[in-house]
Structure 1
């Protein structure tokens, strides 16, 4: 039996999460496969078409290539058949996850340990949307001199999309760095990082003169969850849900959801997306057909010329991606972006030894039109990066909570490297004094002690 308690607040009606998903994955496994030749590739494509496997990497069968790794979820009901066929064809595979449901259950058990406390918001815990809304209110109230909360738009299911603006009063012209997280519902580590980033900016940046200088010239705009409807669905119904929750009807079959990262006007649906609304890469009925993408696109168009950097946070795969996904042509400043991206990856590695690849979407992943970073680049935003956070396939989209802190720490180092480059390029004569640099060392030491709890 599944129980829901309805909580009514100023944000609307939300289920208080009891962590009893309707969708179950008992016995489902995730396999790591290496197709040796074109026959293996065609066989895997057929398995996807027959819905015997759920392709996780790459996102769609057209991108499967000989000798490239493939990650796929195999339903328990098809395991014996699929493994038998793989062995008969000598198609190499190994088991990444023995039982997906066990991963889910372990994560949910951790979620139930402590009740939510706004005043003691945990940054090493995943939070449902209701708690993120309350956290945003709390940050706004506790940092009134720096933080304001704004309504970006409303989702398909009429939920508010709020972003936080971090801004220090200044008589100097201000520029914008934009960050959005959670465009894909099941990638919970992304909203977790957005929360970590806000805390770090407010507490670490303001205590560090070297970083505090950013706030003299730059405002940070952070959208913790872009796909609010889908994120809520991933907590209440299907932990592995990816898309939005818009409704469409195709061939008398009702399907839900658009892949919001295929819905931007960047050669929309020309490649790497699907016009079948039942597909996980459904690109929508038209570019910016969804209220969520309309809200983001409208805001950035309105502030075009002031946005210096666009950052999109995803998982999994451990990559720093840059335009483009719909063409082999690179951005005009591609070499500069590769250099700063590599510096960011190096800074990330220094934290916990995690290795990230750096390159364009086409180079490292696949062809995909309609993505937000391509759209931002086409709009004229010079620095547009997409982070695919941990891991490389051990836990997939179900990253355990004990990896939130190291993931956020290393990602913060990488993001800060990018911000420093963008800042120094646009504000080259604002380097901190020697006294300020010495104070920053003391402040950093104090904060490293303060935050270890």
Structure 2
């Protein structure tokens, strides 16, 4: 996630505002940048000039009438009482190297017989709904398309994914003072409680602030770890953009825990960086996956027509918004929103980074799945002028991951390794002048997909932390 000349790419990079230098004169753990002083670029000229299609923007969220919002909220609450059942649904890995396969899959998707989970230039992982398995099987055989059945009954896998903790783990929770264990996928309340616990326990280095609210009013909580040195560089890490990718918030909280709990023993490379971490960018969608639909992807803001719910937050950022790999259809899983930064969650991240006084030099966004370490550009098959630097550091991170746990990560430009996807947060961060911007697609490579067993949480966390240490070392080089 190659058209366009170097001139265009260079112009895009040099015309954006770079982050201001770090100003840090308060006590460690207490200094947070003021918010709201920079107007959001919801109608930036570069978005209009480079978007391949003109879309008439829908009404902004604030203009949805109150009675309609109440009706939508009521319907959403009623829907949460009925869990989506995936009994009999299957996950297939389909080879797409043969001519015509992608076109066939596209027709099946438009007929609502399948949905896409993941893929690259050679294969696609597709979910086949239970009532469509027989029909899709017949079409695949008729078209002589090669596929493997990866998961035969998706609901069975979902039921086994997140077992309750044993008595010893529950007792350990009570002694620890928070409920996070990394042996289970936790609800938002546990994640936020854990962050608050660290801020109270380590007030000299840890602080927590809410940088905005989700559509349904949930906090977007960022935790900061810093020893307060004014020379520190800064790294922004987020997770949970896509609601169903549970390993992402689990990994970000694992990294938070390891750095905060062991800060005194950490290397100078770690200590010389201010770490800003937002584990759940999409709290409404994340809670919805726990309560109603395990495979929900988007946020939960309704379109003005009330036809469909949610936008893909990772297609809603304002760098080359509205282009390839995004959709203007509110019912699509890659719906880009009515305009750049139309969603409160993406707008809050943008607002915070743009108005921050932190010296952000790296941005990491954790997703799943596929084991990829991707750098810009995603909007088209082009690379930034310093792509060799991004590739070098990315490969060093991938090597550390493999050394630690054996997982092999593919490193490269996202639009070439996977596919073009405009409006992504990593492209936007790079456009803001943040040099090292990466999207990291965590484990696995398709055996479990989004339904990754809890036994993977700690190994994936350890691998990711090893990558973080390499990044910190690179950032501290003169």
Distance 1:34 1:108 in 2: 30
Q: What corresponds to 2:300 in structure 1?
A: 245
Distance 2:464 2:330 in 1: 33
Q: What corresponds to 2:102 in structure 1?
A: 41
Q: What corresponds to 1:406 in structure 2?
A: 459
Q: Does 1:102 align with 2:102?
A: no
Q: May I ask how many residue pairs the two structures share in their alignment?
A: 394
- Aligned to 2:308, what secondary structure does the other structure show? strand
Deviations 1:238-291 (A, max 9, x none): 1111100001144xx621101000000111011110011110000000000111
- Aligned to 1:248, what secondary structure does the other structure show? coil
Match of 2:317 among 264, 277, 289: 264
Q: Does 1:221 align with 2:280?
A: no
Match of 2:235 among 171, 177, 199: 177
Q: What corresponds to 1:337 in structure 2?
A: 390
Distance 1:179 1:189 in 2: 14
Distance 2:412 2:182 in 1: 30
Match of 2:265 among 201, 207, 225: 207
Instruction: Quote how far apart the aligned CAs of 1:111 are.
Output: 5.9
Instruction: Show the 5 A alignment for 1:54-453.
Output: 54-58=115-119, 68-110=122-164, 117=174, 118-119=177-178, 121-170=180-229, 172-208=230-266, 211-215=267-271, 217-250=272-305, 254-303=307-356, 306-424=359-477, 428=478
Distance 1:35 1:302 in 2: 44
Q: Does 1:51 align with 2:105?
A: no
- Asked if structure 2 preserves the Cα contact closer than 8 Å seen for 1:256 and 1:278, the reply is yes
Instruction: Quote how far apart the aligned CAs of 1:110 are.
Output: 3.8
- Asked if structure 2 preserves the Cα contact closer than 8 Å seen for 1:262 and 1:368, the reply is yes
Instruction: Quote how far apart the aligned CAs of 1:134 are.
Output: 1.1
Give the TM-score of the pair, scaled to structure 1: 0.83
Gaps of 5+ in 2: 1-79
Distance 1:168 1:71 in 2: 44
Distance 1:108 1:366 in 2: 31
Q: Which has the higher contact order (CA 8 A, sep 6+)?
A: 2
- Aligned to 2:163, what secondary structure does the other structure show? helix
Give the TM-score of the pair, scaled to structure 2: 0.79
- Aligned to 2:293, what secondary structure does the other structure show? coil
- Asked if structure 2 preserves the Cα contact closer than 8 Å seen for 1:184 and 1:314, the reply is yes
Distance 1:419 1:265 in 2: 28
Distance 2:411 2:81 in 1: 38
Instruction: Quote how far apart the aligned CAs of 1:213 are.
Output: 4.9
Q: 1:400 to 1:421 in 2, by over 3 A?
A: same
Distance 1:419 1:384 in 2: 13
Distance 1:336 1:393 in 2: 29
- Report the aligned-residue RMSD: 1.9
Instruction: Quote how far apart the aligned CAs of 1:21 are.
Output: 6.5
Gaps of 5+ in 1: 1-18, 59-63, 429-453
- Asked if structure 1 preserves the Cα contact closer than 8 Å seen for 2:215 and 2:344, the reply is yes
- Aligned to 1:247, what secondary structure does the other structure show? coil
Q: What corresponds to 1:450 in structure 2?
A: none
Distance 2:252 2:281 in 1: 11
Q: What corresponds to 1:436 in structure 2?
A: none
Instruction: Quote how far apart the aligned CAs of 1:35 are.
Output: 3.4
- Asked if structure 2 preserves the Cα contact closer than 8 Å seen for 1:111 and 1:126, the reply is no
